[in-house]
């Protein structure tokens, strides 16, 4: 099977490629990635013999047409993915997440290629801390940020291309991922690498916001389950019942690294900061039989800490530039 993986030099896409090379030796994988600041192509070095990396933009129609025409399956991870950046400059989010996805869909329509669309639970907006509800496939879209609204728009494009043009697509909306090879601008790797660098972790606002954490390998196994057995045109929510508030995440990281649990600072809150996300993944579990393998968040984080401790060469350059970006707006408040 010829697989085109967009965004395969980023966090989740690269983990998907590494795992697919290991588990599916018959797959012929090509990665299309613009190699933005968020990419780290060295992640793919161990599979360089098995994977072709094409540096290019998903909004480049002639390039995309050629690559899609030479594929049996497209798995679309490429995106501008960081909420904080979308608040500073939304333009690349509109361009990549909307125009880029549109460009891919048009090529997929022409070549009748199987397509899987990777998206986020943030399209559903947020929940109150005390709301017993969780997101399901029926929850109405209500995105908050430029990032989540462009992801929501891209999901709706896919649904329209399924209904109007008969494109053979499935969609998945997953909760917050953690694991190796995640960019240090994101919450968990930022705090791990802060502590490893002798800097105090930083909590936005009151630190009580809740995210529903899932290990990246569990996400990618679910993606393969949906590609193999999901129903065309359907959306599946992916989550591992991993709700934890941000303060507890930071305290866990500090404790695992042998630091006092209160050794963090509160900083200025993210504008429009979503309070809580929570996924009900019953459909994926009952219809397709998927189960997460990382049942224990604490041991998953401990494994992730070990990975960052052992691979400073992978993250140190990106760390300096990510912290310089944060320093432009972030102020310690407590």
The nearest distance, CB 15 to ligand NAD, in angstroms, is: 8
Task: Report the C-alpha gap between 22 and 205 in whole angstroms.
Answer: 41
Backbone angles phi, psi at 128, to 5 degrees: -70, 155
- Binder of residue 209, out of ligand TDX, ligand NAD, none (CB less than 5 to 8 A by kind): ligand TDX
Of the candidates 50, 54, 67, which has an alpha carbon nearest to the alpha carbon of residue 8? 54
Cα dihedral across residues 214, 216, 221, 224: positive or negative: positive
Select 2 or 270, whichever has its Cβ closest to ligand TDX. Answer: 270
Distance CA 121, CA 250 (A): 22
Least distance (Å) between residue 332 CB and ligand NAD: 26
Q: Are 40 and 314 in contact (CB under 8 A)?
A: yes
Is 122 tagged catalytic?
Answer: yes
Site string for ligand TDX, 269-308 (x = CB under 6 A): -x--------------------------------------
Write down the catalytic residue from 147, 277, 294, 308: 147
Residue among 30, 186, 219, 319 that touches ligand TDX (CB under 6 A): 186
Site membership for ligand TDX, residue 187 (CB under 6 A): yes
Q: Could you say whether residue 16 binds ligand NAD (CB under 6 A)?
A: no
- Minimum Å gap between C-beta 231 and ligand TDX is 24
The distance of closest approach from Cβ of residue 284 to ligand NAD in the complex, given in angstroms and rounded to an integer, is 14
CB 201 within 8 A of CB 191: yes
Looking at 121, 218, 243, 251, which residue is catalytic?
121
Per DSSP, helices labelled H in the chain are 11-23, 61-69, 83-88, 91-93, 101-111, 146-165, 187-196, 216-229, 246-256, 282-288, 297-310, 312-327
Q: Which of 77, 93, 124, 308 binds ligand NAD (CB under 6 A)?
A: 77
Strands 169-174 and 51-55, sheet pairing: unpaired
What residue ranges bind ligand NAD (CB under 6 A)? 6-7, 9-13, 32-36, 38-39, 57-59, 77-81, 96, 100, 118-120, 151, 174, 176-177, 183
Which residues are known catalytic residues?
A: 121-122, 147
């Amino acid at each position: 099977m010829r697989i085109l993986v967009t965004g395969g030099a980023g966090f989740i896409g690269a983990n998907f490629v590494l795992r697919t090379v290991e588990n599916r030796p018959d797959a012929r994988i090509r990665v299309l990635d613009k190699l933005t600041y968020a990419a780290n192509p060295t992640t793919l070095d161990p599979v360089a013999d098995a994977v072709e990396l094409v540096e290019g933009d998903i909004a480049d129609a002639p390039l995309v047409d050629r690559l899609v025409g030479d594929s049996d399956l497209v798995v679309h991870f490429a995106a501008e993915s960081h909420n904080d950046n979308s608040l500073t400059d939304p333009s690349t989010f509109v361009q990549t997440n909307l125009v880029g996805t549109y460009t891919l869909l048009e090529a997929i329509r022409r070549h009748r290629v199987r397509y899987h669309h990777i998206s986020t639970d943030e399209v559903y907006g947020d929940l109150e801390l005390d709301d017993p509800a969780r997101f399901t496939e029926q929850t109405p879209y209500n995105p908050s940020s430029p990032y989540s609204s462009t992801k929501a728009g891209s999901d709706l494009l896919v649904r329209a291309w399924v209904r109007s043009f008969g494109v053979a697509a499935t969609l998945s909306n997953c909760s917050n991922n953690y694991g190796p090879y995640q960019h240090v601008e994101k919450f968990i790797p930022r705090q791990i690498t802060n502590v490893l660098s002798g800097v105090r972790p930083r909590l936005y606002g009151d630190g009580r916001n809740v995210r529903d954490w899932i290990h990246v390998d569990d996400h990618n196994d679910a993606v393969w389950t949906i590609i193999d057995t999901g129903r065309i045109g359907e959306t599946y929510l992916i989550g591992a019942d991993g709700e934890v508030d941000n303060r507890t995440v930071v305290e866990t990281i500090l404790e695992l690294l042998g630091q006092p649990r209160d050794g963090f600072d509160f900083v200025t809150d993210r504008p429009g900061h979503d309070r809580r996300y929570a996924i009900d993944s019953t459909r994926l579990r009952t219809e397709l039989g998927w189960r997460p393998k990382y049942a224990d968040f604490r041991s998953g984080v401990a494994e992730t800490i070990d990975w960052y401790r052992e691979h400073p060469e992978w993250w140190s350059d990106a760390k300096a530039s990510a912290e310089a970006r944060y320093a432009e707006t972030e102020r310690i408040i407590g």
